[in-house]
């Protein structure tokens, strides 16, 4: 029997997190993500978890890193200005290899911008918001059902690869209400971080293992190690040794990039015989899908490629698609972020056109139709 519920996108995010095992949330309320904090405050204490509202976004990020180090599955949620404030501690989470999930419900920017309007302007910030070379996993669902499922995926990837994972939403899908069936994910595997099996005195928290992901002991469990934002050796002590630095940073990047087949997910719609491709994600991909149907009815062979994993970038797939298409159209609620990656990956393939919008309004299917027809 199906378990059908009518949920808002932000509500589905919390339900997916709880299903994945979230037992700690720290954050600071900010539009349009506030419902995530509110519902976590209601639900977590009933399920044996902890909720804490911090004094600001920076401390919210710090709190979930600390909670994760003690073995908790931790999450925070924010929007553009708050996501900017979290970046320093997000970088700390990357180099210290602390699994956690960071929700960014995007809104118009920069700065305070358009607090209640949709945007997709944080695509590049998700990749390069914190400085240096570091691994990034960022996911972007496009429906309430998928928010529920992909939130679970975010926790699984964080635990599996011992890294922060970013879940990008936009105001439209965060605040829309749709029916979901939680039973569709009842058999989804729930992944927990790899724990050490060695003697406590032999434990190395940052050991260079074959799978590139070291076992992680909970603070307080008797396994001793050092945690720092500095480049560090396998025990965790800071080091200025160039060989240690090179080995560490390359492992951090490789543990994500060498597992792209496991991490990168996408959806293709009407792509089998398509001569024209549309690339879109999040709420914009819903308009793009309707546009594909409309353009097909006009005799134009159009298909949709929708990345669910924004980072790592689906470079091989985009390059493969570009060689089969006459033209690719990238549609985003920004002035051009993901499109530049598509152009880079399509260097030997087709031409790439861009349709962007930043006025706080969604991109309508009719706008995509007109743009595609006007640029064929």
Helix (H, G, I), strand (E, B), or coil: what is residue 279? strand
Q: How far apart are CA 315 and CA 225, in angstroms?
A: 37
The whole-number pLDDT of residue 1 equals 53
Which residue do the tokens 């936009």 mark? 170
* Number of alpha helices (DSSP H) and beta strands (DSSP E) in the chain: 13, 14
Q: How far apart are CA 151 and CA 52, in angstroms?
A: 20
* Residue of 179, 196, 192 whose CA lies nearest to 144: 179
Q: At what angle do helices 9-20 and 34-46 cross, to 10 degrees?
A: 40
What pTM value is reported for the model?
0.97
Q: How far apart are CA 179 and CA 283, in angstroms?
A: 16
Contact 133, 255 (CB under 8 A): no
Under DSSP, the state recorded for 272 is S
Under DSSP, the state recorded for 113 is -
Could you report how far apart the first and last alpha carbons of the chain are, in Å? 48
CATH fold match for the domains 4-185 and 266-374: yes
DSSP string, 306-346: EESEEES--HHHHHHHHTT-SEEEEEESSSSSHHHHHHHHT
Q: Where are the domains of the chain?
A: 4-185, 266-374
Helix, strand, coil shares, percent, the chain, to 5: 40, 20, 40
pLDDT digits (tens, 9 = 90+) for 290-320: 999 999 999 999 999 999 999 999 999 999 9
Q: Side-chain half-sphere of 306: how many Cα atoms within 13 Å? A: 22
pLDDT along the chain (376 residues), means of 10: 89 98 97 97 96 97 98 98 97 98 97 95 97 96 98 98 98 97 92 97 96 96 96 97 98 97 98 97 98 98 98 97 96 97 91 97 98 96
Q: Which of 3.30.420.40, 3.40.50.10490, 3.30.70.100, 3.40.50.970 would CATH assign to domain 4-185? A: 3.40.50.970
Helix (H, G, I), strand (E, B), or coil: what is residue 65? helix
| Beta-bridge mates of residue 100 | 164
Residues 6+ away with beta carbon under 8 Å from 250: none
Question: What CATH class has 266-374?
Answer: alpha beta
């Amino acid at each position: 029997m199906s378990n059908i519920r009518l949920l808002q996108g932000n509500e589905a995010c919390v339900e997916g997190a709880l299903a994945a095992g979230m037992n700690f949330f720290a954050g600071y309320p900010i539009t349009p993500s506030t419902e995530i904090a509110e519902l976590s405050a209601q639900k977590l204490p009933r399920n044996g978890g902890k909720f804490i509202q911090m004094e600001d976004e920076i401390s919210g990020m710090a709190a979930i890193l600390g909670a994760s180090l003690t073995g908790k599955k931790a999450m925070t949620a924010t929007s553009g200005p708050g996501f900017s404030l979290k970046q320093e501690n997000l970088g700390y989470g990357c180099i210290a290899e602390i699994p956690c999930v960071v929700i960014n419900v995007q809104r118009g920017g920069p700065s305070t911008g358009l607090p209640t309007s949709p945007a997709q302007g944080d695509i590049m910030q998700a990749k390069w918001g914190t400085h240096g070379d570091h691994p990034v996993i960022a996911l972007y669902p496009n429906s309430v059902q998928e928010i529920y499922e992909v939130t679970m995926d975010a926790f699984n990837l964080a635990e599996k690869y011992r890294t922060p994972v970013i879940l990008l939403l936009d105001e439209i899908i965060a605040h829309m209400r749709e029916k979901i069936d939680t039973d569709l994910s009842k058999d989804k595997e729930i992944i927990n971080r790899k724990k050490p099996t060695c003697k406590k005195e032999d434990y190395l928290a940052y050991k260079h293992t074959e799978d590139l992901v070291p076992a992680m002991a909970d603070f307080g469990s008797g396994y001793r190690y050092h945690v720092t934002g500095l480049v560090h050796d396998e025990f965790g002590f800071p080091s200025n040794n160039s060989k240690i630095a090179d080995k560490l940073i390359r492992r951090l990047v490789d543990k994500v990039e060498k597992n792209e087949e496991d991490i990168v997910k996408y959806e293709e719609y009407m792509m089998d015989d398509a001569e024209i491709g549309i690339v879109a994600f999040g709420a914009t991909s819903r308009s793009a899908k309707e546009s594909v149907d409309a353009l097909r009815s006009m005799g134009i062979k159009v298909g949709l490629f929708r990345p669910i994993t924004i980072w790592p970038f689906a470079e091989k797939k985009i390059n493969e698609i570009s060689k089969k298409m006459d033209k690719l159209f990238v549609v985003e609620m920004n002035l051009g972020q993901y499109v530049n990656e598509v152009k880079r990956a399509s260097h030997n393939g087709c031409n790439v056109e861009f349709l962007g919008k930043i006025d706080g309004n969604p991109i309508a299917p009719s706008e995509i139709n007109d743009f595609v027809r006007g640029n064929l």
